[in-house]
Amino acid sequence: MSDISRLSARSSQESLRSTSSTPSIQSIQSEPEKLAPAVDGPMVWKGAELDPTKYVLDLQEHEIAEIRTAIVSFKLSSLPRSSIDATTFPLSKQLADKLSSVSDEVHKGRGVAVVRGLDTAKLNDEEAVIAFVGVSSYVCPSRATDSYANQTLILQSSLVTNLTSLTGHIRDATHDAVPEWAQDLGLAGSKLPVAMEFHSDRFSGDVLALHVRNDGGADSGGEQYVASFWKVYNELLGTEPAVLETMAAADWPFELKQQNKSPYLELGPTLFFAQGKPLCQLVKAPLLGSPRIPRSSEMPSLTKEQLHALEVVEGLARRFSTRLDRRIGDLQYINNLSIMHARSAYSARASPPHDGRHLLRMFLRDPRNMWAKPSSFSTNFDDPFAEGREQNISILDLDPWRKISGRESHG
């Protein structure tokens, strides 16, 4: 790719060295899972083989009008946004079936799908969130929450709960005024205009859903990239299977953050297997630290084998990747178990929230199409979808520091 080099100016190894991490806790060594055979099918692709004409689903004018009517219907119901589902956001069977087919493409097809056309509806912030959640309820009905974070994005800063917001906002928050209580908190990668290397979001959900509210404008950067981990897996199986064995070993030292407490160490693999499917859950922030949230010096360093695995996987992901075809208004759905994603740096904007690049984010699951998970880690995979938690669906991101009060499991 001509511009893939814009993703990062520093390698994973250099990022790790910059944290000056020294081993203080002994990593637990364990035998990796037995490697699955090579995988095949439409989810194994490289570069231009992922054709936008195949993964972009265009909404027709009458379908956009339907969605607009559903938005108005929900607003008139006076129900909380957590109540949005197929019953409170009514669409015709024809459109419902069309949106349901997106899940098939994400789980059984290429692993990437884009629903396009909502930009013509000229939605305000509230309507855009309702549309994103409402349309997504037909694609993947189950929405994730993060039980590890203990504050929300939308409540007043003095109010603390044991829940986090369901919808996340990906934007540049580096120019936001920092309240006194947040002076010692850093910003997560989703709030910085920096490049992100290839990763999948660990134990966050089966499907990553993004709504492009603002792409930042022409030549502002922030391009999104996707790569088939299954293509990477097949390549390594034939050339360097030891890298896969390293990924599957349950001794990766993840640093998980806690509010008002010291971070703690969680050991685990970055590669899982279930029913012959390799499941990638490689996220680098809790392994290497991030620009505004450094890794604790009390955490153990990665081994040379783990560092090598990061370098090799990143190199192959870049080699096999493609830039995601993106327009304002797009709803993007990416298989978070088999597709890795990355982005280039983008222009920082000294402006109020949402005047620059701004994406909405949710993690989803479709009970109809969901993949099996390894039984020994089923709790980790299922926890975001535990029933009974309040779902706080935020319209504006007025408090970008709260998300990092929980575990940092995103890229």
| pLDDT tens for each residue of 242-265 | 999 999 999 999 998 776 778 889
Q: Cα(311)–Cα(327) distance, rounded to whole angstroms?
A: 31
**Residue 172 pLDDT > 90:** no
The residue that leads in pLDDT, 4 or 94, is 94
Two tokens, residue 206: 């089966």
**Residue 344 pLDDT > 60:** yes
The per-residue pLDDT for range 119-141, each reduced to its tens digit, is: 999 999 999 999 999 999 999 99
Tell me, yes or no, whether 261 lies in a domain: yes
Mean pLDDT over each residue of the chain, to the nearest integer: 83
Residue 197 CB partners (closer than 8 Å, separation 6+): 7, 8, 12, 284, 314, 342, 411
Instruction: Give the 3-state secondary structure percentages of the chain, helix then strand then coil, rounded to 5.
Output: 35, 20, 50
What is the structure's pLDDT at 404? 45
What is the structure's pLDDT at 389? 81
Stretch 39-56: mean pLDDT: 97
N-to-C CA span, the chain: 22
Strand partners of residue 358 = 171, 214
Residue 200 CB partners (closer than 8 Å, separation 6+): 229, 280, 281, 282, 283, 336, 337, 339, 340, 341, 411
**Residue 159 pLDDT > 60:** no
The per-residue pLDDT for range 223-242, each reduced to its tens digit, is: 999 999 999 999 999 999 99
Residue 322 has a CB neighbour count (10 Å cut-off) of 20
**How many CA atoms are closer than 13 Å to the CA of 161, on its beta-carbon side?**
15
- Helical H runs in 4-119? 12-18, 52-55, 61-77, 93-108
What is the structure's pLDDT at 167? 59
Residue 21 maps to which CATH number? 3.60.130.10
**Residue 31 pLDDT > 90:** no
**Residue 191 pLDDT > 70:** no
Number of domains in the chain: 1
pLDDT confidence bin for 209, thresholds 50/70/90: very high
Q: What angle do CA 93, 95, 96 make, to 5 degrees?
A: 60
**Range of the structural domain that residue 340 is part of:** 4-405
Tell me, yes or no, whether 410 lies in a domain: no
**Residue 4 pLDDT > 90:** no
- Answer yes or no: are the C-beta atoms of 365 and 142 closer than 8 Å: yes
Residue 297 CB partners (closer than 8 Å, separation 6+): 19, 20, 21, 22, 24
DSSP string, 329-389: T-EEEEETTTEEEEE--B----SSTTSS-EEEEEEEE-TTTPPP--GGGHHHHHGGG-TT-
Two tokens, residue 31: 């035998």
- Answer yes or no: are the C-beta atoms of 336 and 366 closer than 8 Å: no
What is the structure's pLDDT at 180? 73
Tell me, yes or no, whether 195 lies in a domain: yes
**Residue 175 pLDDT > 90:** no
What is the structure's pLDDT at 291? 73
What is the structure's pLDDT at 411? 54
Tell me, yes or no, whether 98 lies in a domain: yes
Q: How does strand 207-214 pair with strand 339-343?
A: unpaired
Strand partners of residue 360 = 169, 211
pLDDT confidence bin for 401, thresholds 50/70/90: low
Q: Cα(80)–Cα(88) distance, rounded to whole angstroms?
A: 11
The per-residue pLDDT for range 266-301, each reduced to its tens digit, is: 999 999 999 999 999 999 989 998 776 788 889 999
Q: Cα(186)–Cα(173) distance, rounded to whole angstroms?
A: 11
What is the structure's pLDDT at 406? 44
The per-residue pLDDT for range 51-81, each reduced to its tens digit, is: 999 999 999 999 999 999 999 999 999 999 9
pLDDT confidence bin for 189, thresholds 50/70/90: low
What is the structure's pLDDT at 400? 64
- Answer yes or no: are the C-beta atoms of 308 and 196 closer than 8 Å: no
The residue that leads in pLDDT, 162 or 403, is 403
Tell me, yes or no, whether 411 lies in a domain: no
Rg (CA), the chain: 20
Angstrom CA distances, 357 to 6, 51, 93, stand at: 17, 25, 34
